[in-house]
Every structure is written in C-alpha cells, then in structure tokens.
A and B are shown apart, each in its own frame.
Chain A
Amino acid sequence: MADLVNLTINGRAIQTPAGTLVIDAAKKAGIEIPAFCYYEGYSLQAACRMCLVEVEKMPKLQAACTLPAGEGMVVRTESEPVVKTRKSMLEFLLANHPLDCPVCDKGGECELQDMSFRYGVGESRFTEMKHHVDEKQWSPVVFYDGPRCILCYRCVRVCNEGMGVSALGVINRGEQSLITPNFEDHLECDECGMCIDICPVGALTSGTYRYRTRPWEMKHTGTICAFCSDGCKTTLGTRGHEIIRGNNRDRSGINGEFLCMKGRYAFDFIEHPERLTSPLMKVNGKLEPVSWAKALEAVARKFTEVKTRGGRFGIAASTKTTNEENYYLQKFARQGLGTNNIDHHRSGDVVALIDALNGRADALATMQDVYTMTASLVIASDLAQEHPLIAFQLRANNRHHQSNTYTVTKGPVREDKYAAASIRCEEGGELEAVAGLREQLSKEKELLVIFGGAIKGEAVGKLVAFGDSLGIPVKYICLVDYSNSRGAMDMGLLPDLGPGYEPVDQPGMTLPGMMAASDLDVLWVVGSNPLARYELASPGAFVVVQEMFLTETAARADIVLPASAAYEKAGTLTNVTGECQKLHAAGRTMGAKPDLEILGLIAREMGLNLGIWSSSNVFEEIRKSVRGYNIPLPIIATGQAAQTNPVKGGVPLRPRPDLIQPAGNTLFTSGSLGRYSKKLTSVIEYPGQLYRP
C-alpha cells in the first residue's frame, strides 16, 4: 500500500495515496475539476488550463492535472479567481471556435458545450475574424474540421500511446496549429476511430455517423461486439430500428476507452441489402421465399422423419451465436435428435489447454491480467490485427507498469516496438524459440502466455510443461477467433464433449467428418459457413441453414431460415478470456428471428420438450449445469463482465490438432460476416497501407 497523504479540497479532508494527481483525488471525492486535455491513462499535457486551481502557499494557480497531492495541501476548486480563470479559458477557446453547434455532430454531447453551459459567460467579446480552414476527409471513416479543434492533443496521444500507431501529429504553431494525418492529406492507420471518440469537441467526426442525426434522437444500447473474441463493449445508437453509430465514449466495458474498426463501424452488416428477411425453400432447384410456418413445418417434418428412421444428422454450429443458443442447440442435438454429430469451426485448442492445466483454475488468465501481469509472452499471433483489445491492454501495461513483453511470431508484430525480445520463427518452430528465452523468462516475477492457434494438440501440453519448469507463476490465454468461439467450446458444441467439457459416451462426427461423410441425411447449419472451406460429400443431404445472408452454405440449402444478428437479440457471449457478458438488442430486422427462437420453434413443431426458449431461462439452466458458469446474476444484469472458469481435471481425449484452424482475420476482415460490412470492405479497398505493425 502506497503512503497516504492528507489534503483538503474545498474544505473537505481527503486522504489519497501519495503521488495521486489533485484532479484524480478530487474526482474520487466527488469534486469535478473540469479539463479538456487531461485524459486518465495518457501522458500529461497541462495545455487547456481549465483545471487551474488555487493552492494555498503557491503563488500562482496550479494545474490540477499535473500537481501531485501533497501532505497538508489546501486546494480550492471553486474560488473566485479559479472560476474567473475558467471563464476566461472558455472565452479564449470560443474565440476561434465556430459556433456551428446546431449542425455539429458533437452537439448535445460536446464537452466544450457542457463546460460553456456550466462555467462560460453569456456574452462574447470576440468581434474579430475567426481563423478558418476547410474541413478535410482523412479516410473513409475519419474527417477533421480544423476550426473546431481545441488542440487538446487527446487524439494524438491516444494514437501514439494507446494504439502504438502514431498516425497523427501537429503541424504549424500558435493559432495556426492543426492536427495532421501521417500521409499529408490522408491517414494510413488502423482506422480504429479512437481519435473520434476521445475528441472532446466535433473536430474529428466519423464517416458513418456525421450529419446523420442528433445524439438525443438516438436510443443508446450497450452491447458486445459481434466480431472477434475479445468481447469489447460497444454502445450502439439507434434511431427507429436503424443502428446509426457505434462508440465507446463511456468507457464502461472491459475495453475501457478502446474500440477497433469492427466494433465501431462494422455494425452496418445488419442493413446489408443481401440480408435475408424471409425463410427460403428450394422449389424446383431454386430457393423461393415462403412463410415461417411453412418453412418450420418442412424442417420439423424432415427432422422427425430422419430421426424416426435412424438416419444421420450432422450439425455445424456457430462461433457467433449466444451461449444460450449454443447450449440449446447441443441439447436439441443430443436429447432431441439423439446425436453427438455436432461441431463448430475451432480456431484455438482450448480443450488441450483445459486438459494441460489439469484443475489449476487460477492459471487461466483474465483480460485484467493482460493489463497487470509483469511479463507477457506472445506466441504465434499478430495481436494488433487479430486481438486488438489484448494488444491494447498489453501496450497500456507496458506504458503504465513498464511490463516486459516477449514475442515469438512468424512476421514482425506491433509488440516488437516495446518488446524485451522478439523472435521470428516458422510455424512449428515456436516451442524451440520459446525454449531459447528460458533464461530471460525465468528471471521474471510472473508470466502471461498468450498463444495462437498454431500451438495445438500436444504442443499445448509441452508449452504448459515449459511454463511449469520456469518456477514462476504462469497464466495462459488460448486465442480463439470469433465473438463466441470460447462459448461454443464451453457449451459443448463438440462431438466428444458436452457442456463444461464433460466427455460423452459415444463421440459423434467432427465437422470435417460430417462434410466428408457420404451418407449424411441432414446437414443442419446454424450461423456458420462450412461450405466456404469444405465440400459437402453427401449428395442427398437435406441442408437446413440458419443465416443472415445467402452464404455459400445457405445457397446450397434446402431450407434457409433468416436469423437475427447479435445486435438484434439478447443472450450472453463468453470472450477469449472467459468473461461472460450480456447482449442487448439495439436494432431489429423484420422477418428475421433469433436463432434461439428458431430452435425453439422447430422443437415445438417436432413436439420435443427441450425447455422454454427464452434466453434468461436457458441462461439459468447454464448457470446450474455448466461447469464454471455459476456466475453472479447482478454482474451480468448490470452489463458487466462475469468471469467464467471451466477448468477441471484432465480431459481424457486423443488430441486432434488437425481440427484447429485459425481464421487468420485481420483488423479489417472477419470470416464470412466481414464481407457484409460495407465499411470494412471500403477500408480494405482504400488505397495505401493501412495497418502497420
């Protein structure tokens, strides 16, 4: 525990750890000291001078954002000179600031407006010409309006320090100063849009949102990103049923202020023109729209018929559907259809890790561990591309705690910039390369090992054995690729393991097995696109697909049932580090139904009793029956992340590294789903080199 100091702010006695900045000490005590440039977690600027406060025995007003709290300090934040100074700073700021608030995107949620409302003067004394420069578009998603910029440098810092991209700078000096993109007139960067979120005014605006609505006309729904497995919270702004904006200004999720391109902009897949809004049925070799009743009846009839005659089902499950849908689907397969032929696209060998840890629950790392552990070893993953939140947390850890990072990857990665050691190796050579770091790693206090899909099967066991041999506490993250890849494993969408990694009596067919089988009677695909990667060998298989789009697989279907997107339904997802979080519906697409409802309707049509198909009911069942999911309801209900931990004793299985196939997504691609986001595809088509390690 750090030493505590006692100080007085506005007459209130406050105790705070030595070294705390006065602005933070005040905030903790519920006293707001206004500031534009100060942003927790980033380098100090002391440029906006809004936080000047009076400190006894100091000759001048002091910037609370750079002043460490001292013993016996007497601070006043609302005294007459302080308030007068604040007013004058706002007057200076507004001198050149265009008063185009009525059309400015930020209007209504602008920090400059808020400050002016609270501290500003009613009258403007500035009667000179305002300094003007034209607005510029820097990328498909980033626009910069120079006159609105108050030069707080938050964007520059978040890009340099937070993202490690350094795409923004400042040119000119004095009144002429402007933020500048890295390539004269355009940006080549991650297109994360953090600069837009962090901008206190409307200087940086978003290509998807600008001039489309006013903030108060939207309903704001905090939900979980539909793309990678990091589980970032994104707040979707909806007007009517249309999602207009994604952002993360309230920093309330596990991702803090972070959000990448996908979480911020790629929600637009839900309104893609090819979105399915009606069930389709194959009539004379062609898919034609039919009613839900007709489609469900046909599916149920076929399923009952095949089940009755003991035919073969194959079920390809999803890496993006909710835990509830996954749980219900495997229950449907095992109890309703009597088959273990259920599998999904596995991108990381979580099963092998659970087995190798053999009951050591504390060896499974959380997202918080990425930010706090003193050393990290990254193996076989370009985190900044595939797991941008983990990459962000690692950078923050290095910046705030000087943690050490080691990288063992095929090509250069962004972590190299601050890594203690970086080793390049071909796939398969990772463990040898890691062994070469033994001396350095064993000197660390503790270690977080983050490994990609290339470490699979027996290699996972060997890696854990190596970690054990270091003689220091070691935790692990087995990287998986999609928003509920981890939940798919935990919920037992596996032919040999049920929920909670419990072995089943008679293992069923794997996904490649189903696809290669020649006698499959039914292939039931839920939110997945196996035909993008495999041929379907059974010519007579009746294919039922629950999908949002007419993918390669849906196009081959006999019946297609239009599914709701993650942003249109309730349920929970489990991220790569086991944090379980709740989805909240932000929009709606007429005609589509959530997969859970579709499953329930098919079950009802078949006369099966699999329980009520509401997500809260199924979630209760998961909490009661799935290992590691007995998580506190209030945490989930209040939109926070609840830690799950499915670690148990060994999993007695023959390793199947052949089934682990990392998707190799980039910042701008995400399997089949990414193709339906115009924002993602427009960025890919944008000239110039965007992502740089």
Chain B
Amino acid sequence: MLFNDPSPLEVKILTRRLGLPNSASIETNLANGGYKSFEKALEMTQDQIIQEVKDSNLRGRGGAGFPTGMKWGFVPRQSPKPKYIVVNADESEPGTCKDRVLIENDPHLLIEGCLIAAQAVGAKAGYIYVRGEYRYLIGILDKAIGEAYARGYLGKNILGRGVDFDLYTHTGAGAYECGEESALLESLEGKRGQPRIRPPFPAVAGLYQCPTVLNNVETYCAVPSIIEMGGKAWAALGIPKAGGTKLTCLTGHVNRTGVYELPLGFPVEKMINEVGGGIRGGKKMKAFIPGGSSCPVLTGEEAWPLTMDYDSMAKAGTMLGSGGVIIMDEDTDMVKAALRIMHFYAHESCGWCIPCREGTAWLKKLLTRLNEGVGTAKDVDLVGDLADNMLGKTFCPLGDAAALPTASIVRKFRHEFEAKLARAQAAVPGMANNPFAIV
C-alpha cells in the first residue's frame, strides 16, 4: 500500500509500479515490465553492465553518495573466493523512510536490481539485511523471493541460462550503526555491529572477507531502469554529475509529508511549496535538513534557493544525504531539537572509539542541562567545541553524523541557547545579582 498520495511533480521511474493493485506480486510486476532489464542484462557483458551504471551517474542512495558504477568496478574480476551481493535495508537514518516504501510495494524491483548486480560482478549469492523494526518487510520479501524462485529468476540455472544466484533475507535487531557498511557486514557475520578498519573496502574484502557489492535498497532499485533506459538517458533525468531521480522523504512541518520521487536538482522551494504543499500553518521555515539528521542544519534562508543535489548542498555546507528532508518551522525549539538529535547518537554510538563514545554521551548530558536552562554561555561554547573535537576524528562516520548537526545548530541558533538560559535564570529570584550567572 502507499502511505501518501503521489504528487504530479514526481518523475516516477523507480516508483512507477507503486499504486498498482497487488503491486508486490510477481504477476503485477511481470505484467508491468518487471525482470525485463535482468533479461536484457543477461545478454550484456559484465563490463557493459558496469559501464551503463557508470554512465548513469548513479550515486549511492544510502547517504554517502559514492558513485555506484565505480564501486562495482572495484570488485576483482578474477577471484578465488566467492563474491556476494549485500543489500543495505537497514534504513535507520532519522528522517528517512523511502526504502520501506520500495520494498513494501515492489519487492521484485529490488530482487531484479540484485540479479543485475550479481550478473555484473559474478556473484552467486546475496543477502538482504533488513533492520529489525521492518520485520513485516521480511515476510513480503520472503514471499517475493519464493515467487522468483518458482518462476526461475532465482536459484540454479536461472532462465536456463546457466546462471546461479541465491538470495536470502537477514534480520537485524536494532542498531543504527549497522547502516554503516562495514558494521552491517560484522552484524551479518553474527557479531556486534561495529565498524571495521578500512581499507580494505567491501568490494575487495567484504562479507566473510570475500569481494562484496554492498549498496542501499534504492541504489539497487535504480539499476533495472538504468539498464532499461541506458545509463546516459537515465542520467539525463537529473542534472550533470548527479543522474536520475531520488526518493525524497518530506518530514516535519510541511503540509503534505510523504515519500516522493523527484529528479536530482529539484528546487527546494518547489519541493516544499508545491510537492509538500507549503509549511504547515503558513509559518516560516526556521531550519532545514536535506538528508537525514546526520547532515549539517541549514537555516530557512540558506535553504530556500538551493536545489536537491550533491553539489548544491555541498556548496551550502551540508549534504544531500539519504533523502530524508526534515523541515522545522519558526516555532521549533532548536535546543530541544539539538538535544533530541544527540540523544539518538548517544544511544546508537557503538562504543568502539573514544571520541564518539565519550563525546556523544557528554554532549547528551550537556544538552539535557542546557535544554532545562541550567548552564552558562561557556557551556554553549563547550557544545560547539566538543562537536569540533569529534569531527573528523572518529573511527567511523557516526561521530561526524553526531557532530555536524550539533555544531551547525550551535553556530546558527546560538541565540536560542542563550535565551533559554536567560529565561530560566530570570525565573530564579535573586539570580540577576548572582555573580555566577554569566548570561
């Protein structure tokens, strides 16, 4: 089922079968062009498939935005070890809920994407790592995988073409860190979801230290249409350097929150006002996060003129991220928002490295206090300082993910912290003359 009405401004490539009756069934899928791209890929060489993906300018849709074709190209052609396809369906970046929509409504699209990736690198088995909270999706995927086996799209000698590929689902058990690719692999191997030292990268030494293609659900789902349309045509859907469409999750204070497929380079203003129906209650936009809570926060003024693509966001000092757009209106308490974001990272820090483990916990305590109006201006400086001390120094990107939004909120909304402290202290009789009150 769909969770929100589609928008006429959408460019429905990945989501084109969404909304069809029984869209998750293989019958609907096949009747509407499903597995045709895989059949086409069977006629192509490995190099040809990878070249199409490179031509498409497809970049990883999980948040890091690494060029997918290049990633596949790193997988060694000749390998004495088996190769694996791993799907990152551990969608847990706050603000992001697109992979869920794709899997629930068109699981065969994901299976087809995996099959093409397997064909491109010569993998014989794949695992779909689904976050524990998405248990019901495992039922949907297992059913779809069963259908694909029954129709000869999975298993031995696929479509009589001498190609083998087995696909399995695998549940996580609640850990944001497992969205990081090397931590996901650790988890898939039955261990604590803690990241690995990189290099080597998964393309060379991934699952069981074997060459592994590891991509986000949406990335795999983009592949069939790339093969169908040709990489260059697919790229042209977007803008130069950022090909195709992107599923965007509008969340927060907009009238029509929802998941929409928009071409890359889509204007923020049009996205909020036309796709999203404007800011809720006609208010002003105070803050904008383009792709999940790990991105640096922009002010409304900064965000309005931008377009939704990698370069535009990078120029503005943030990232396109996962597509989880978080919109905050003028009434939003930014201290509370900063605290809630840090609460999340402190909860999810795996504990492996010192700056992330200690930094997130410290910042959570500090922000909790500041949110209650307890503290001094020095404490506000400390928030920014600690975030800076984490930034770029942690073992994996989680530390940066915690530091970036925090540092940007303190920098851009410092006055809210100070106002909160001043209000709290003004409420205490005699505080105005207190020598320790520094506000």
Contacts and interface: CB of A to CB of B under 8 A. Distances in A.
Contact of A92 (B177, B359, B366, B392): B359
Interface in B414-437: none
Given A49-B394, A49-B395, A89-B355, A173 B365 contact: no
Interface string A445-468: 000000000000000000000000
A298 interface: no
B360 interface: yes
A95 B358 contact: yes
B149 interface: no
B389 A85 contact: yes
A49 B362 CA distance: 17
A273 interface: no
B157 to A, nearest CB: 37
A175 B351 contact: yes
Given A173-B349, A174-B348, A61 B393 contact: yes
Contacts of A47: 352-354, 395
Given A49-B393, A49-B395, A175 B361 contact: yes
A125 interface: yes
B355 to A, nearest CB: 5
Contacts of A131: 361
Contact of A173 (B192, B355, B393, B395): B192
A48 B389 CA distance: 14
B390 to A, nearest CB: 8
Contacts of A175: 346, 349, 351, 357-358, 360-361
A174 B361 contact: yes
B362 to A, nearest CB: 5
Interface string A137-155: 0000000000000110000
Contacts of B197: 44, 46, 66
A686 to B, nearest CB: 29
A88 B389 contact: yes
Interface string A166-180: 000010111111000
A44 B195 CA distance: 12
Contacts of A61: 392-393
A170 B358 CA distance: 16
Interface in A64-106: 66, 85, 88-89, 91-93, 95-96
B2 interface: no
Contacts of B395: 46-47, 49
A129 interface: yes
Find the residue from B348, B360, B392 having the highest chain A CB count within 10 A. B392
Nearest to B391: A60
B362 A177 contact: no
A217 interface: no
A52 interface: yes
Given A52-B393, A91-B389, A128-B365, A174 B354 contact: no
B433 to A, nearest CB: 23
B382 interface: yes
Contact of B366 (A96, A128, A150): A128
Contacts of B365: 128-129
Interface in B346-385: 346-355, 357-362, 365-366, 369, 382
From DSSP, what is the main secondary structure of chain B's interface residues?
A: helix
Contacts of B355: 49, 88-89, 92
A88 to B, nearest CB: 4
A125 B353 contact: no
A211 interface: no
Interface in A27-48: 44, 46-48
A173 B192 CA distance: 9
B186 to A, nearest CB: 13
Contact of A48 (B192, B354, B369, B382): B354
Nearest to A176: B351
Contacts, number: 88
A173 B361 contact: no
A178 to B, nearest CB: 9
A98 to B, nearest CB: 14
Given A46-B197, A96-B358, A128-B365, A60 B392 contact: yes
Nearest to B356: A174
A647 B362 CA distance: 65
Find the residue from A88, A89, A173 having the highest chain B CB count within 10 A. A173
A534 interface: no
A165 to B, nearest CB: 18
A28 B232 CA distance: 53
B354 A92 contact: yes
Contacts of A44: 197
A126 interface: yes
B71 to A, nearest CB: 20
Interface string A115-146: 00000000001101101000000000000000
Nearest to A174: B349
Contacts of B360: 174-175
B347 A174 contact: yes
Interface in A361-401: none
Find the residue from B346, B357, B395 having the highest chain A CB count within 10 A. B357
A89 B192 CA distance: 24
A128 B369 contact: yes
A149 B174 CA distance: 26
Interface string B163-184: 0000000000001010000000
Nearest to B394: A49
A95 B347 CA distance: 17
Nearest to A65: B197
B393 A85 contact: yes
Given A52-B393, A91-B389, A96 B361 contact: yes
Nearest to B349: A174
A524 B358 CA distance: 66
A92 B358 contact: yes
Nearest to B363: A128
A66 B192 CA distance: 21
B389 to A, nearest CB: 4
B349 to A, nearest CB: 4
A22 B330 CA distance: 50
Interface string B327-359: 000000000000000000011111111110111
Nearest to B366: A128
Nearest to B346: A174
A48 B351 contact: no
B351 A173 contact: yes
Contacts of B351: 151, 170, 172-177
A96 B346 CA distance: 14
A4 to B, nearest CB: 22
A49 B353 contact: yes
A91 B366 CA distance: 15
A273 B389 CA distance: 57
A300 to B, nearest CB: 68
Nearest to A128: B365
A637 B69 CA distance: 64
A176 B361 CA distance: 10
Nearest to B352: A47
Interface in B391-414: 392-395
Contacts of A92: 354-355, 357-359, 362, 389
Nearest to B353: A47
A170 B192 contact: yes
Contacts of B346: 174-175
Interface of B: 175, 177, 192, 197, 346-355, 357-362, 365-366, 369, 382, 389, 392-395
24 contacts: A46-B395, A47-B352, A47-B395, A48-B353, A49-B353, A49-B395, A60-B393, A66-B197, A85-B393, A92-B354, A92-B355, A92-B357, A92-B389, A93-B358, A128-B362, A128-B365, A131-B361, A151-B354, A173-B177, A173-B192, A173-B349, A174-B350, A174-B357, A174-B361
Given A88-B389, A89-B393, 8 more contacts: A48-B354, A50-B354, A91-B389, A92-B362, A96-B358, A128-B365, A174-B346, A175-B361
Of all A-B residue pairs in the complex, the 7 with the closest CB atoms, nearest first, are A177-B351, A88-B389, A92-B358, A175-B361, A128-B365, A174-B349, A60-B392
